[in-house]
A and B are shown apart, each in its own frame.
Chain A
Amino acid sequence: MTSVGIDRAPDAALVRRPARVRFLWLLVTAGVLAALMVASVALGSRDVTWSDVWAALGGADDTLEQAAVAKRMPRTLLAVVIGAALGLAGCVMQGVTRNPLADPGILGVNMGASLAVVTAVAFFGLTSPTGYIWVAMAGAAVSAVFVYAVGSLGRGGATPLKLALAGTATSVAFASLVSAVALPRNDIAGSFKLWQIGGVGGASYERIGQVLPFLAVGLAVCLLSARGLNSLALGDELAAGLGERVAVIRAMAALGAVVLCGASTAVAGPIGFVGLVVPHACRLLVGVDHRWLLPFSALTGAALLTAADVAGRVVTRPADVEVGIVTALIGAPFFIHIVRRQKVRDL
């Protein structure tokens, strides 16, 4: 990795927002997330009343309405958990690669995890849900290393656009391999949309319970590397000069991100663009200090994915649009915006 450098010196006000402002935004985001969770439970193809929602939250599922609400609860929980994981993973990846275009979807990591699962199911008879998670993490790790290696070949090292190009190309390539493996197999073709696009429709408490320990480990590793990521932002040489072990920081943080990506892809498929949009938005709100940025990204990611899921259910009632489609529709224009902003010398 060579130094890509930060384009312009960030505004002093952006580096460190006053604690009061950051705390205020934290409250606002948490409030928005809570409201979205309520909306996610209350809205859907079937109209329910508030008393149904209330009864179902208490555990009742006597009427159809209450049963519908009861089905929406694990789905909401999954969207929150996966959104948090992807937002956090995206923020860590942007820090590790010092690349504004990094995202688990764009860098091909999620699609790699998806391909690994589909391949293992089709050719090696993988059935256990925990097996899904391990295989997905292995796939995510392999594709992360591969994309980074390809992106940093040649002059200038891993420049943002080279890395993004390597990642998107790998992602396209993996996606067509996923179709090739999954389509002819009736047992996988049923969940083809899940492995190609990603969604939270098939949520159950059991699956959330299986993936939660992995996500907790990934979360802890990522949050612990916050201080290290702050040093990395200064550039490798300066960080090393300050006594940081650059390679260790980078490996640890990347490992945490890969665990998050693999585990979330194993339950929700390859959802892209959440990790791209969220850190950029959060940087505007709380500045670039990773100790604030990382938890904030997790919170905002959860809110974004829940909102996308609700939108996918409400806009096209009674049909359900996969949340991966909605996030791509939100995130891809943002991706184009960032590409357009890059300077020619970084290309």
Chain B
Amino acid sequence: MSAPAAARPSAARVVARGRRRSATRRRVIIATLAVLVVAGFAVTLMFGQTFYPPDDVVRVILGEQVPGASFTVGRLRLPRAVLAVVAGFSFGMAGVTFQTMLRNPLASPDIIGISWGASAAAAIAIVSLSLDRTQVSALAIVSALAVALLIYVLAFRDGVVGTRLILIGIGISAILESVTSYVLSRAAEWDLQEATRWLTGSLNGVTWDQTLPALAALVVLTPVLLHQARDLSAMQLGDDTASALGVRVERTRVTVIVAAVGLIAFATAAAGPIAFVAFLSGPIAARLVGVGGSLLVPAGLVGALLVLVADFAGQFAFDTRYPVGVVTGVLGAPYLVYLIVRTHRAGGSP
């Protein structure tokens, strides 16, 4: 009788210690990611065709006039770097939200066509209709929400099965990609710059009036998502368990979908559907911070870091300047195939 009694407190202590350790690990990794994002942001502002020392950059950000730097850093690099962070963070958070909610890493908005909805709408609004920024963003979010709803309705038959939802999403993506290509080819001339933005995502020639709506959306919608983080984690256990735990499942689901689609739509309207960032960020973040706890913030940071690094590498690491979406596309493509191989080998449908 004495042996189990002695074992019980020590087991509890082991669990407690493990929890403390993983919480510490989580905090350390989030802090490291944040530092890396800030460092990447700073490097993006300082380096380029010409180098500007940190104090010049800081003075420009504070609003002082610095010859040369005011234009290069303030007008060219700053909006671009801010949009890189904002779009990356938006894609990362929205991606992991969908992956968590649908319990499937393949169900990220860029694979199931939601990003394509926003991209097609933005391409139509800008290339064919020449609308202004607010209208573009509005159209993008309406269209992305409509696509999300459409995929859900089409995939619903006695419940939503993961594989069916993903394949239907891929079909929808094919349609929307064709619509985007169609819009682009109807434009006066095939402008490769515009085409790459709406087909793969690009930060080339970004200005403040593209960046600011995306930033505003991020500032408004991040707290909404974070507020739902705990309920979202509970929903991973299944709808019945979650509602037994006191989660209002339907309300949480609608709120979360609208917020995540909003993030995607605003970021896409500014930067195009930067390939695979939403898809990659969640799994990378999960690998880094481990299970337990919400992945929203880590995935957002990973996304921001991905876009910053990919954009910087795309601009300067090669002979030619690649748009950021091409770089993330090359990174994401093998991972997509690997994920399929792994889930198939593990048995059952992904």
Contacts and interface: CB of A to CB of B under 8 A. Distances in A.
B347 A154 contact: yes
Interface in A300-347: 316, 319-322, 324-326, 328-329, 331-333, 335-336, 339-340, 342, 344, 347
A161 B343 CA distance: 13
Contact of A170 (B175, B322, B337, B343): B337
A196 B166 CA distance: 22
B189 to A, nearest CB: 10
Given A154-B347, A184-B318, A319 B168 contact: no
Contacts of B250: none
B172 A332 contact: yes
B249 interface: no
A137 to B, nearest CB: 22
Main SS at interface, chain A: helix
Say what secondary structure dominates the interface of chain B: helix
A20 interface: no
Contacts of B178: 197, 324-326, 328-329, 332
Interface in B16-75: none
Given A153-B341, A336-B168, A176 B333 contact: yes
Nearest to B335: A173
Contacts of B320: 184-185
B322 A328 contact: no
B291 interface: no
Given A154-B346, A321-B185, A328-B178, A176 B168 contact: no
Interface in B176-200: 177-179, 181-182, 185-186, 190, 192, 196, 199-200
Contacts of A162: 163, 344, 349
A196 B171 CA distance: 17
A319 B127 CA distance: 15
A180 B154 contact: no
B229 to A, nearest CB: 29
Contacts of B276: 176
Given A161-B163, A173-B336, A180-B329, A150 B174 contact: no
A168 B170 contact: yes
Interface residues of B, number: 58
B348 interface: yes
Most buried by A among B172, B325, B344: B344
B129 to A, nearest CB: 16
27 contacts: A153-B344, A153-B345, A154-B348, A161-B349, A165-B166, A165-B167, A165-B350, A172-B111, A172-B170, A176-B200, A176-B333, A177-B329, A177-B333, A179-B200, A179-B329, A184-B322, A272-B174, A321-B182, A321-B186, A322-B181, A325-B181, A329-B178, A333-B171, A336-B154, A336-B168, A336-B171, A340-B164
Given A162-B163, A165-B167, A325-B178, 7 more contacts: A154-B343, A172-B336, A180-B329, A325-B185, A336-B167, A336-B172, A339-B167
